[in-house]
Structure 1
Amino acid sequence: MTPPTTRTWSRRGHTPVIRVRGRSRRRLSVAALLCYKAGEPSRLVYRPCPDARPDGRKSFSWKDYRDLIQNAHHQLGGPIVLVWDNLNTHLTAGMRRYIADRDWLTVFQLPPYAPDLNPVETIWSILRRTSLANRAFANPDDLVTTVRKGLRQLQYRHDVLDGCLTGTGLRTPP
């Protein structure tokens, strides 16, 4: 809920101030897959996960990632080669069993501490610098709405998605 800051303009001697009513321990987790298929525009598949869940969990479980991958498989209609970072949830026994049972899913792990090789990290950076910058959120629902709107706008910017993939070397420029 704490807003990221970016550059802004104001009259000389009057520093812009963003008022935040109070600190909140609420948060929002978002998982995303940046996908491409030869001859088709790049796609962004995402799923937000607010921390107000019935089971009390505040982040994604391996089952949530499983559902996201399954959803992407249905949307893309073909086999998936997944390049993943080393998040502990990605490495659980349940996730390894799920991957082993799917012949349409191939997974490669990124080396540890290599965010520059993960194109989704660039998506988060763009989102923080555009939709979320210099904005104080009134409540967690406002944050969720803003993140969804920002990601939806990015879904239609295929040039930006291609740039994120090209920047990591996973795709060559068209």
Structure 2
Amino acid sequence: MRYAQGGGLTDAERAARERIRQQAVERFEGGEQNREIAAALRVSVRSVERWRRQWREGGAAGVASKGSPGRPKLSDAQIGRLERELERGPLAHGWQDQRWTLARVKTLIGRLFHVSYTVEGTWVLLKRHGWSWQQPARRAIERDDAAVELWKKDTWSRVRAPRQPATPGSSSRTKPGNR
């Protein structure tokens, strides 16, 4: 089940959802049909079918919610350790440069905690804990901004191809007779 804006259920909403599941169990035991249960509880027939299958396999406990599948995989202590390791830098973990990429952070999490994240999940985890995307400024030490501006004014204006004037039949907005 997906929720707008990436949000989940509040504790009260989660408890109400559990009550609906338990009411469905009572109706299963009473012999009611799936469509009747779905209409009475205002849920989809597919949900009732899934709950009935879980009820057959595991009883009332089988229908109980297992919790959010998107719950954090790392504890607060593990997040703290991850942050300390990230601050040490990629070189300390065997990479050849000082750039943390999402793929590298994902690999680091796997090495440290034996937990698998997707690259997208790694980004969500980092954002949730205050990390941001950053791109290093790449400028040559030898760069001369004055020389670049001079080149743009003098050389680029001569090198670049001149614009072709619009002719009738081209994509020009004005036609010779409409001036």
TM-score, normalization: structure 1? 0.21
Please state which structure has a larger fraction of its residues in helix.
Answer: 2
Please state which structure has a larger fraction of its residues in strand.
Answer: 1
- Rg bigger for which structure? 2
Bigger relative contact order, structure 1 or 2, given CA contacts below 8 A and separation 6+? 1
TM-score, normalization: structure 2? 0.21
